[in-house]
Amino acid sequence: MSEATKPQPQAKGEKTPISDTSYVGIDAILEQMRRKAMKQGFEFNVMVVGQSGLGKSTLMNTLFKSKVSRKSVQPNVEERIPKTVEIKSVSHDVEEKGVRMKLTVIDTPGFGDQINNENCWQPIMKFINDQYETYLQEEININRKKRIPDTRVHCCIYFIPPTGHCLRPLDVEFMRHLSKVVNIVPVIAKADTLTLEERDSFKKTIREELRANGIDVYPQKEFDEDAEDRMINDKIREMIPFAVVGSDQEYQVNGKRILGRKTKWGTIEVENIAHCEFAYLRDLLIRTHMQNIKDITCSIHYETYRVRRLNESNILFTSNPPDHPAPATPQPNGVAAHRSSVE
Amino acid sequence: MKVGVLTSSNDKDSEIKHIRSLSLAGHVGFDSLPDQLVNKSICQGFCFNILCIGETGIGKSTLMDTLFNTNFENFESSHFEPQVKLRAQTYDLQESNVRLRLTVVNTVGFGDQMNKQESYQPVVDYIDRQFESYLQEELKIKRSLHNYHDSRVHACLYFISPSGHSLKSLDLVTMKKLDSKVNIIPVIAKADTISKSELHKFKIKIMSELVSNGVQIYQFPLDDETVAKVNTTMNGHLPFAVVGSTEEVAVGNKMVKARQYPWGVVQVENENHCDFVKLREMLICVNMEDLREQTHTRHYELYRRCKLEELGFKDTDSECKPVSLQQTYEAKRQEFLVELQKREDEMRQMFVQRVKEKEAELKDAERELQGRFEQLKRLHAEEKAALEEKKRLLDEDQSSFGKRKAAAQLLQAQSLTANGKKDKDRKK
């Protein structure tokens, strides 16, 4: 590396600047970081939640342009609706231009499919908390691994059926409970059944309902770091939930081969933003905000879980994680328990 | 062909994961992930902490000034420090869009004392303190690790004086104590006092002494192909012989950093004159991130493990079942409370005992006093009785005397009257 002998002009900031005469090389650390990141590889865990038949697996395959979903891995299993919500996760190593990523897609068959759907979000909540718990246990070990494997759910894509009216009670319940523990990205599934006007009014209704119920979906307003962030995220917030169409079949349109759905009245192009908002979703999830999603999971959701868990252990002297979220103010009960146990 | 196996979290015993590699049918876009990561780091800024150990006047501050091209407002230290001290100063530097928070820690008075046995201790204590405060932050319940100003020492430049012979025993002892706590990069200071051939021999001698004494200095990493070659070459040039200077001298038609002597000009950035450029390249341009990572994953983890084990925490208990930190903590807390209770009881008992003793003592004293009082009273009574007796005798005497006196007086009176009668009789 011969950068050291080339004199380069430096930017003068309010901080003590390096003088003009020669180059120190501090900004080479960016390159070092990049190298380290490429060597280590990345991890991304995404969960898809929605009723069966909404196109979750197809959307995942479309997003990652390969057969990442559970169904593609188990092609011969007959499709049956499970009696309870199951959690099935599949992992893949994907690579693009030297960047390696371990992608895990977590499927939740059975969600919302029973006659009685009360508390069907609970197994999902438990799974998410279990991942946090595993990470926490590994982190507080004496001899811990160099890189703790990250199985925490970074992002949860929630599929809203395209009724065109409003959110159903199940949707509201689910999002209300889970928006506090994981980043939720709501999408309108099978959006090719809505016209553009229907789509816009549906989205507006959904946004209002989310606001009315105090549900904070990704990107959360409170985690905006600075004005620039807020501006970018406000634009995104104007557009959620994204109306998406998924497809893993290619068709010939205007001489190009593109992903789409062919019907008798036309071909819906998945990546055409005039047709559906898949491209926006893909850009948000993968191209621009993936790191941010991971950071919010690590530093906010996980820390919240950790604080609650450590406080609980302190008070109740147990080491078993709770299956349900702790009561809002554990202190009064906890203190009483403490006193009685000491006596 | 490997087929992906589903893992269901409902049955934890079938946790085998075969992760299959997939090829993508098109451009997905996550190749921008490193860029996203880098952008985030630029917003956050970087942190780097260097510790400079060396004797007073060996050129530590000058080298730092030269390395980072700024004037760090240092002042000369005296040679009369009674103990080794460490002075840490933090600076915010910026180059293009990278902000660096640099902390330079210098030893003050190292090697000046007459008895240098304890010279390494303040340095070790400083490094441990930084690890400790990071550990404390990590163990807190409400913590903010991403905002935390990391003060752990990432690199330690050990300045060897250019004697040309070998390492001093102080150097060996200090480096041995530090090699498991920090990345040590030895440098030969004031290298313009050594000739080229002497330097070569000196370097070989130093490295062989380090190896024979088992001192683990920092080796530039060889696992990444892009930098493995240059790192291997540089590993062969250790320790770097450096010259520091912030003054500029005209050489040819350029102003360069150099030291001017009557016999010539030593140019700092000339690779034929000294290894300064190599040091800067290795320390900053190529391996800064690796230094930080080694500190975090190796030295800090070692410290953490030792510290927690010292406090009595284990990962598995006597039945080799995994024990959580929380359980151990609770067990220890109970133990501690029980111990406290025991001590309290003990103290109370001791107190009661002492009170009893004192009481007994006092009772004894009282009895003794009582005895003496009785004795005195008796004596007094006896004496009184004796005196009464004497008084009685005296009274008796007195009364008998009185009687005899009365009798005598009567007799006298009788005899007088008898005489008077006789006289009367004669007169008739």
pLDDT at B325: 60
Question: How many CB atoms are closer than 10 A to CB A138?
Answer: 14
pLDDT-derived band at B13, boundaries 50, 70, 90: very low
* Whether the predicted pLDDT of B97 surpasses 50: yes
* Whether the predicted pLDDT of B350 surpasses 90: yes
CB contact (8 A) between residue B284 and residue A26:
yes
Residue A257 lies in a domain: yes
> Which range, of A202-216, A220-234, B229-243, B360-374, averages the lowest pLDDT?
A220-234
Mean pLDDT for chain A? 79
Mean pLDDT for chain B? 84
* Whether the predicted pLDDT of B321 surpasses 50: no
pLDDT at B23: 75
Does the pTM surpass 0.80? The reply is no
> Contacts of residue B96 in chain A, CB cutoff 8 Å?
10-11, 27
Q: Which domain holds residue A163?
A: 39-68+82-315
* Whether the predicted pLDDT of B401 surpasses 80: yes
**Domain extents in chain B:** 37-309, 323-407
Q: For chain A, how many structural domains are there in total?
A: 1
The whole-angstrom separation of Cα A301 and Cα B45 is 23
Q: Which CATH fold would you assign to the domain B37-309?
A: Rossmann fold (3.40.50)
Residue A328 lies in a domain: no
ipTM: 0.76
* CATH number for the domain that contains residue A94: 3.40.50.300
User: Which is higher by pLDDT, A157 or A328?
Assistant: A157
A-B interface: how many C-beta pairs under 8 angstroms? 245
> Contacts of residue B94 in chain A, CB cutoff 8 Å?
11, 13, 15-18
Nearest neighbour of B6 by CB, restricted to A70, A102, A137: A70
pLDDT at B400: 92
Structure tokens that stand for B327 in this block? 């359980």
pLDDT-derived band at B369, boundaries 50, 70, 90: very high
What are the strands of the beta sheet with B155-160, ordered from one edge? A16-17, B85-95, B98-108, B46-53, B155-160, B184-188, B240-241
Q: Are A319 and B327 in contact (CB under 8 A)?
A: yes
Nearest neighbour of B288 by CB, restricted to A18, A32, A319: A32
Could you report the per-residue pLDDT of A254-280, keeping only the tens digit for each?
A: 777 788 888 888 888 888 888 888 888
User: Which is higher by pLDDT, B421 or A120?
Assistant: A120
pLDDT at B3: 33
Could you report the per-residue pLDDT of A203-248, keeping only the tens digit for each?
A: 999 999 998 998 888 888 888 777 888 888 888 888 888 998 888 7
Our CA-based measurement puts residue A28 at a distance from the nearest CA of chain B, in whole angstroms, of 5
Residue A31 lies in a domain: no
pLDDT at A116: 81
When pLDDT is averaged across residues B65-84 and rounded to a whole number, the result is 79
* Whether the predicted pLDDT of B418 surpasses 70: yes
User: Shortest CA distance to A134 belongs to which of A154, A155, A148?
Assistant: A148
CB contact (8 A) between residue B4 and residue A29:
no
When pLDDT is averaged across residues B185-203 and rounded to a whole number, the result is 89
Could you report the per-residue pLDDT of B259-289, keeping only the tens digit for each?
A: 888 988 888 888 888 889 899 888 888 888 8
User: Shortest CA distance to B267 belongs to which of B288, B286, B248?
Assistant: B248
| Residue partners of B274: CB distance under 8 A and separation at least 6 | B191, B192, B241, B242, B243, B266, B268
Residues 308-367 of B with CB under 8 A from A: 308-309, 313-315, 324-327, 330
CB contact (8 A) between residue A1 and residue B286:
yes
First-to-last alpha carbon distance for chain A, in angstroms, is 70
The whole-angstrom separation of Cα B128 and Cα B109 is 20
CB contact (8 A) between residue B24 and residue A137:
no
